Amino acid sequence: MSPAAWGFLIDLRRRGSLDDGQFERVLEVLTGCGVRPVEVDLAREVAARIALEGDAVEGQEGAHGEVDQTH
């Protein structure tokens, strides 16, 4: 993960935009997506998707497992 992406996610957590569980799910998705290094745009996209989904999909296997990349 790029330093800018990491700082962006830490700031979201610090401001309360992501709770602990959401923060962990974002990290899981980003580390498993195969993109290296993860830049801010991808981190923002994944964090927004997880924050907006809320707890509605919690417990569903694979709910955050895939990230579509524009090539």
pTM, two decimals, is 0.75
Model confidence pLDDT, tens digit, residues 17-64 = 999 999 999 999 999 999 999 999 999 999 999 999 875 554 444 444
Contact between 21 and 64 under an 8 Å Cβ cutoff? The reply is no
Residue type, 70: T
Residues 57, 38: Cα–Cα separation, whole Å: 24
Read off the DSSP letter of residue 18. Answer: S
- pLDDT for position 61: 44
Q: Which amino acid, one-letter code, is at 61? A: E
Of residues 34, 35, 12, 15, the one with CA closest to residue 24: 12
The domain limits of the chain are 3-54
